[in-house]
Amino acid sequence: MSSREDDNGAKTPTGKVTPPPAAVTAVTVTRGGGGRTPPPPDPPEPPDDGEEGMLRMSFLEHLQELRSRIIKMLAGVLVSVAVSLTFCNQLWRVIAAPAVEALTKLGIKPATLKAITPMEQFNVIWFKLPFLCALFIASPWILYQIWAFISPGLYKRERRYAAPFILCSAGLFIGGGAFAYFVAFRFALTFLLGIGIGNSVDPMISIDEYFDLFVNVTLGVALVFEMPILIFFLTLLRIVSPAFLVKHSRYAILGIFIIAAVVTPTPDAFNMLLFALPMCLLFYVGVFAGYLLVLKREGRRFPWGKVLTIVGIVLVIFGALLYFAALHYKLHPVPHWPFLRR
């Protein structure tokens, strides 16, 4: 007698058990017979374009590359030293100009620097000075070697920042030295030399002590001007974010004022502000550069048109006010700070 079971299986009149429909489908698909064919396999994932060209180096190869880059840096510095040696007298007049100007303003005659020991002039003018100038002359070459050392470990898309990195870093370094020379150092030196004037004190400045102070201020400010580059690379490496920096900006500003107090050669608040305010501005420039990087990662664009229009209007208004103020107070431009004088 035939019987019928549920969907899990069925008995035929001959007593054979037929497999369930799912099993039939599975067998059909597996054997490649009639019915639907199996879906094609997923296509392989394309290689990450960012890792193309990434150089894999061993530890010893890294050391050899580092040695090669250091040798090239030193070679560039030595070439710059050789160039600077041919202009030592002219360069020393430029370096000594802030001291001569400060002594002239204070009415000290003769407005000259003093050599205390016989070797002092040689050590400063013909040895230390060429190396200081060589650091600024060779700074683009040094920064290029630094980038060439780290670039093999970067993604292909990150190597596009090579030219901006070199240009911005060298420009900020040289710009920081120029700011120290034309603005900060002159104010600080005039303040320091004028402290004892009128109290039976006649300042006598050694060229060695003067040059050491000049190097400390100039190099200190030039290195501090690299702050936007540092913030940009911390954002590039995802160590910090612009939102984090803005949220904790009060701590950054406190640190900037502490650094300014250390770099500033005078204890007065005016000269400290003269150092600290540009550093605060550079901090926010670095945050803005990091924000542009984050926008690029997220596929968004910054509204440059609106922002540049607003900035242009503000600059035009500021220029007009400055022009009318110069006419009213009969001011004329001068080649040093504050760049306007009656």
- pLDDT at site 41: 57
Regions of the chain short of the pLDDT cut 70? 1-57, 154-155, 158, 198, 267, 335-339
Quote the CA–CA distance of 115 and 88 in Å, as a whole number.
17
Angstrom CA distances, 28 to 9, 20, 295, stand at 17, 12, 53
Domain boundary among 174, 191, 225: 225
* Residue 51 included in any domain: no
Quick one: 99 and 204 in the same domain?
yes
Please give the sequence-ordered ranges of beta strands (E in DSSP) within the chain, or none if there are none. 10-11, 17-18, 332-333, 340-341
CB neighbour burial string for 14-32, b if at least 16 within 10 angstroms, e if fewer: eeeeeeeeeeeeeeeeeee
Quick one: 86 and 155 in the same domain?
yes
Q: Give ∠ CA 183-189-192 in degrees, rounded to 5.
A: 140
* Residue 50 included in any domain: no
* Residue 47 included in any domain: no
Structural domain boundaries, residue 220 = 60-225
Count the domains in the chain.
4
- pLDDT at site 284: 92
Quick one: 198 and 271 in the same domain?
no
Quick one: 155 and 27 in the same domain?
no
Query: How many Cβ atoms are within 10 Å of 160's Cβ, its own excluded?
Result: 11
Angstrom CA distances, 324 to 9, 147, 312, 327, stand at 101, 47, 18, 5
Q: Are 99 and 113 in contact (CB under 8 A)?
A: yes
- Per residue in 95-148, pLDDT (tens digit) is 999 999 888 888 888 888 888 888 888 999 999 999 999 999 999 999 888 888
Quick one: 70 and 200 in the same domain?
yes
